[in-house]
Structure 1
């Protein structure tokens, strides 16, 4: 099969176009939008005990809220990408932010776990699907020379939101109630998130037509037919449970070994701090050794961090685990959009990225729920940790296959930062 990157990246002899200043406005707007939506998603840890006590639910039942939300936003991410390719990111992302605010508000009046599933799980899941892929994919076409830096900056919003919003939610719960906290988050999503999405704008490169009257790059169908996409998709599929189980369970796991409520919830924020570091540090490493190899190293690191979780017997070990996992996870998330742009071009980057993210849907749903099921029956997370180590090893192998395939093909001009 023809090397995809050869059809979508400029030859070294070609002049690199100037990057419009508004691209940085878009990158910062994406930062804020992602901080809001994933801050809301990961603040679930702060509401875990409240939902358990209010509705007398088991851990597996409460974990399903987080899993359902993730399933929806990863599965529907491709739909969000297609809508953004057609109508533009501003309209689609603003609609998504309205869904998130509505889901939070609806959940604050929930009389049962079923209502929580519908409002928090479904409502917020749909909202994130309409914001995540369109906003992050919107950034890449604005940049050529500094695409890696812009991708790291925009995706750092996920880490920033993970640090701030769960702690904010925990404080609001302590000051009022879990219902009042949800209403406060709804107002914040509407004002801050909605303001950010109104600044999103499609890049000229995403609409400029080539010699044949089309935007350069592969269509979604062409990308799906490539072996590069298949290996990348398998890698994301295997990494899903490893990435998302801690967001639902690290806080309750910490409380199980005697860590107090504030520091236990704060571990989710520490994952976010590690994630912020990973998006820039790993992005810089990728500029030196290539995005594909860096992705494989980050996946291996993600799995190895679970060894520390398994051995943790106090707060310090859990703190290091959260930072280590966040560093690895953040680097992986930051690399994906830029790698998709490198491989497949701007023509259908939102649709391609959304389809790729659907691979994480099963892990986001099944991972936390099955981890809760295992704990409810065994009283510990030991089996979960060993399964995640195995999944991480397989995901790393899948990414290395992608790297091996690219090296076996004839040399092609590489994009800035290298997709090798």
Structure 2
């Protein structure tokens, strides 16, 4: 009678196995990779003035360089997920790291804006798309109880690298001009390659079976592509609802990053005061990511509830930003900015951590890729919409109110998820042929053990 009990206890322990160890090495790799993707993208504004002066083009034309890179990163995320499902994450991330660096190196030799669109925008953007989603999914597959904390620690690199890269890039431009600076950044981005090499080879995903001998080769190919991209998720209501909610978040989420400094200057604060507001919000953003990850993993509340709470609060604080600044009180603007920064950072890691709760760990890679693809349009819409409202009204008040409204609307959309008001996560459905993988999905997704550590 004691053996079944011991076996059950062993099974429970196994479910907790992927919760550290080599996973923390992968967190460090994601920390560095995220710095060299989003931290770098956030700091490319240093080159904005240099490009305007050198190419003698409009600011709008120059701004399409970074917009193209961001759009390419999110657009190619499903491709990265599909390649990981077909091959392995290690190879995909290493290739992505090479493309990210190679694009910047080529950009250092650009003679026209078209060259920059193709190199910094398309090639580097493709590389970034092949890096981010596989790295995030790999880290998530190596954690159970501390998954959100791991993501929070890794994503804190975005804020830290933004602080470090802005003065560093400015120094590089002043010392080596923009061409030399881009060449150095290309070499720096190649450090993503060893980060990808830290991913242990994963178990090969079973290839989709062809159910009929009469199936043509074209149909078989489409079936395989359909499986690798996890397009079946687009037919599932919970995933579609969640994706719609996140897409609505994304419309308003980045608006303060684009226009808070300009708004602060417009209402009469000095250039230094306006810049410090954004820096302070960035500092609490880092704190929010780590604190949210730690608190979420305590298990007191469901992740979807915590994410909805932080998102709603972030939306409210965005709407209060113009109210606080129009009062003429710099202290009020600073307090609201600090609260916004904390809440916006707190919700970030939860957006990814909730995904396996909805689709399961096995389909997490494809789900993250599709999520990035769908929300990319919303991210590109937020900035222009905010600018349009500013042009129409003459100030940024309507811009922030509308941006905050999108976050609150996304929160209300999340409330329509099945079992949203339940205090516990609904059980995941498993197929009869895949009981073992569903019983311990994290174990099924874990990296395989190197041969030199196996008992002979």
Q: Determine if the alignment matches structure 1 residue 297 to structure 2 residue 309.
A: yes
Query: In the alignment, what sits opposite 2:446?
Result: none
Aligned-pair distance for 1:242? 1.5
Structure 1 stretch displaced more, 112-121 or 35-44: 112-121
Query: In the alignment, what sits opposite 2:409?
Result: 394
Q: What is the RMSD of the two structures over their aligned residues, measured on CA atoms?
A: 3.6
Give a deviation string over 1:354-387, Cα, whole Å, max 9, x none.
Answer: 1112232012222223434555666533332222
Aligned-pair distance for 1:31? 1.3
Counterparts of residues 18-417 of structure 1 (less than 5 Å): 18-19=17-18, 21-190=21-190, 192-201=191-200, 220-253=230-263, 259-260=270-271, 270-286=280-296, 287-311=299-323, 312=325, 320=335, 323-375=338-390, 379-402=394-417, 404-405=419-420, 407=422, 412=427
Aligned-pair distance for 1:244? 2.5
CA contact (8 A) 2:302 2:425 kept: no
Aligned-pair distance for 1:135? 0.4
The 1-side partners of 2:246 and 2:395 are apart by: 26
Give a deviation string over 1:107-139, Cα, whole Å, max 9, x none.
Answer: 333334333333222233212111110100011
CA contact (8 A) 2:97 2:127 kept: yes
Aligned-pair distance for 1:234? 0.4
Give a deviation string over 1:279-337, Cα, whole Å, max 9, x none.
Answer: 22222343321110111112112222323442436876665565444333322221133
> Measured at CA, do residues 188 and 322 of structure 1 come closer, stay the same or move farther in structure 2, by a change above 3 Å?
farther
The 2-side partners of 1:317 and 1:118 are apart by: 44
> Measured at CA, do residues 167 and 298 of structure 1 come closer, stay the same or move farther in structure 2, by a change above 3 Å?
farther
Largest Rg, 1 or 2: 2
TM-score by length of 1: 0.81
> Measured at CA, do residues 410 and 140 of structure 1 come closer, stay the same or move farther in structure 2, by a change above 3 Å?
closer
> Measured at CA, do residues 280 and 101 of structure 1 come closer, stay the same or move farther in structure 2, by a change above 3 Å?
same
Query: In the alignment, what sits opposite 2:13?
Result: 16
The 2-side partners of 1:219 and 1:372 are apart by: 35
SS of the aligned residue for 1:288 comes to: coil
Structure 1 stretch displaced more, 47-56 or 340-349: 47-56
> Measured at CA, do residues 189 and 307 of structure 1 come closer, stay the same or move farther in structure 2, by a change above 3 Å?
same
CA contact (8 A) 1:39 1:166 kept: no
CA contact (8 A) 2:65 2:116 kept: yes
> Measured at CA, do residues 55 and 245 of structure 1 come closer, stay the same or move farther in structure 2, by a change above 3 Å?
farther
TM-score by length of 2: 0.75
SS of the aligned residue for 2:371 comes to: helix
The 1-side partners of 2:307 and 2:66 are apart by: 26
SS of the aligned residue for 1:15 comes to: helix
The 2-side partners of 1:208 and 1:398 are apart by: 35
> Measured at CA, do residues 412 and 370 of structure 1 come closer, stay the same or move farther in structure 2, by a change above 3 Å?
closer
> Measured at CA, do residues 201 and 319 of structure 1 come closer, stay the same or move farther in structure 2, by a change above 3 Å?
farther
Unaligned runs of 5+ in 1: 1-10, 210-217
Structure 1 stretch displaced more, 242-251 or 291-300: 242-251
Structure 1 stretch displaced more, 292-301 or 127-136: 292-301
